Amino acid sequence: MTTPLRIAIAGFRHAHIFDLLNRVEASPGLSLAATCEENAGASLMPSKNLKPSHTGFDAMLAAVDCDIVALGDCYGKRGSQAIRALRAGRHVIADKPLCTSLDELGEIESLAREKNLRIGMMLDMRDHGNLIALREVVKSGRIGEVQTVSFSAQHPLMWGRRPAWYFEPGMHGGTLNDIGIHAMDFLPWVTGLDLAEVVTARTWNAKAAEAPDFKDCGQFLLRLSNGGGVLGDVSYLAPDQCGFSTDNYWRITLHGTRGFAETSYNRHGITVADDTSAQPEMIDPATPRPGGYLEDFLADVDGHPRPDGRDTSSCLRATRRALELESAAGRQSNIQNPTFKIP
């Protein structure tokens, strides 16, 4: 019988990490070795009647025999924690984002390569039935070669309910990195095209007036490897009460040389029409893969990554693209003289 892999989870500062915790506890191939929370007063663990086994990250690394470290702390702390875990010889899986700077990412890439360790992320959009169906339509050739992608991933800001660390300097790392990383992961997978260039990116503060340095709006334009383009909006402007249930929550539209396909996170299926269609057709979702992000990571750890799955290289590539977006937006905000002004 194969010995279960031992996993330690560090940081319960975002609710996403509980999905991973639940899957670890339900998996016969995994064993929970430890939990760590360095800020008990801000932790989400009490909401689940949980207590950490350790209150210091480095102490946990030194004391606990584990194969994998999972990261769910504030975004601004994850890069350093990933580096320390890799130095200690542990594989790493993180809630998104993995880190908040290109310098951190460079060290993570080097350590993973030098120590032959694996990196995974909770990039779960690929596991949604609508996204799987959208990819299948593209692969079938029905809409031709994808030329334009536009998507809206508006999120609710929920000021006063979101964890306060979001708005602390250095802890969030940017809206494009936070939300846009999902698109950096699933767009090449759906379209079969690489993301070749950041044409422009911009962030600004609009709704979070209490935190003027928090840029809650983010938009960007990318060039695809075939010369096509991507228009993305990942702002925090969705309605606070129902923002996660609107049609604009991850609404994705693809236009190809022979037709179009569109879906959103909250629809049942995708809309498709090609040049021969008298009217659009609704196609049912594909079978979803709940927890597919964890299955892909464990396959990578086992040395048998799935051919179309998330592996170390794809996770690191998505992270780099998201951080490049943030960097491009920062450069844009420093431009003093725009190329034109509308009179």
Structural Rg of the chain based on CA atoms? 20
- What are the structural domains, with CATH classification, of the chain? 5-117 (3.40.50.720), 125-291+325-333 (3.30.360.10)
DSSP 3-state assignment of 316?
helix
Q: How confident is the model at residue 2, as a pLDDT?
A: 76
pTM assigned to the model? 0.94
153 forms beta bridges with 249
Please identify every stretch of the chain with a pLDDT value under 50, giving residue numbers as ranges.
340, 342-343
- The pLDDT of residue 185 is 98
Q: Can you list the alpha helix ranges (DSSP code H) found in the chain?
A: 17-26, 57-63, 75-87, 102-115, 129-140, 175-178, 180-191, 292-301, 312-333
Bond into 285 cis (ω within 30): no
**Beta-sheet pairing, 229-233 with 270-274:** unpaired
3-state secondary structure of 243: coil
Neighbours of 273 (CB within 10 A): 17
pLDDT given at position 270: 98
Q: What is the pLDDT of residue 128?
A: 98
Q: Are 339 and 155 in contact (CB under 8 A)?
A: no
**Strand-pair category, 259-264 with 68-71:** unpaired
Single-letter code of the amino acid located at 178: D
Of all residues in the chain, the percent with pLDDT exceeding 90 is 94
Do the Cβ atoms of 289 and 127 come closer than 8 Å?
yes
| Contact of 78 with 17, CB cutoff 8 Å | no
Angle between helices 129-140 and 180-191 (to 10 degrees): 40
pLDDT in tens, 164-194: 999 999 999 999 999 999 999 999 999 999 9
Which tokens in the block code for residue 37?
A: 């929370």
Phi first, then psi: what are they for 262, rounded to 5°? -145, 145
